[in-house]
Amino acid sequence: MSRTQCFEWYSRFKTGRTSIDEDPRSGRHPMSTDDVHIDAVLDLILQNRLLTLREIAEDVGISFGSCQAILTEKIKMQRIAAKFVPRMLTEDQKANRVNISQELLNRVSVEENFFKTIVTG
């Protein structure tokens, strides 16, 4: 931090400032990441997961950066092997994984040759 910046902060706290947060700035709030645009991006992704960020941004009418922010921060998706996929499993998906795992474990305990049938099958 520069010497000038240190003096600036010192004078701010000396006058009674207690917060280190930035002061509110004037200007427009971001409009591209509102619920309408988030829903539009999500609909496009659910229809075709192979779309690029540029294609989505053009279709929705927002900037590339806004499209990227919506997908990564709002919808919590990331690109894997040219497809957008959710980062986290839903509760239904987690429960389904547990059920399938339990069924497989039960089947192994009942059928002694279960693994052999999978490998040779």
38 shares a domain with 82: yes
59 shares a domain with 46: yes
For residue 83, what pLDDT is reported? Answer: 62
CATH number of the CATH domain containing 79? 1.10.10
Q: What are the start-end ranges of the E strands in the chain?
A: 77-80, 83-86
Instruction: Give pLDDT tens digits along the chain (121 positions).
Output: 788 888 888 888 888 887 777 777 766 666 777 889 999 998 998 898 888 889 999 999 999 988 888 888 888 887 765 566 666 777 888 889 899 989 988 888 888 777 666 555 5
For residue 16, what pLDDT is reported? Answer: 84
68 shares a domain with 52: yes
35 shares a domain with 78: yes
User: Would you mind telling me the total number of residues written for the chain in this entry?
Assistant: 121
Q: What are the start-end ranges of the E strands in 9-108?
A: 77-80, 83-86
Burial pattern 64-98, b for ≥16 Cβ within 10 A else e, equals eebbebbbeeebebeeeeeebeeeeeeeeeeeeee
72 shares a domain with 35: yes
- Work out how many domains the chain is built from and give that number: 2
35 shares a domain with 64: yes
- 15 inside domain: no
For residue 40, what pLDDT is reported? Answer: 92
For residue 58, what pLDDT is reported? Answer: 93
Domain containing residue 52: 30-87
35 shares a domain with 80: yes
pTM of the model: 0.47
43 shares a domain with 59: yes
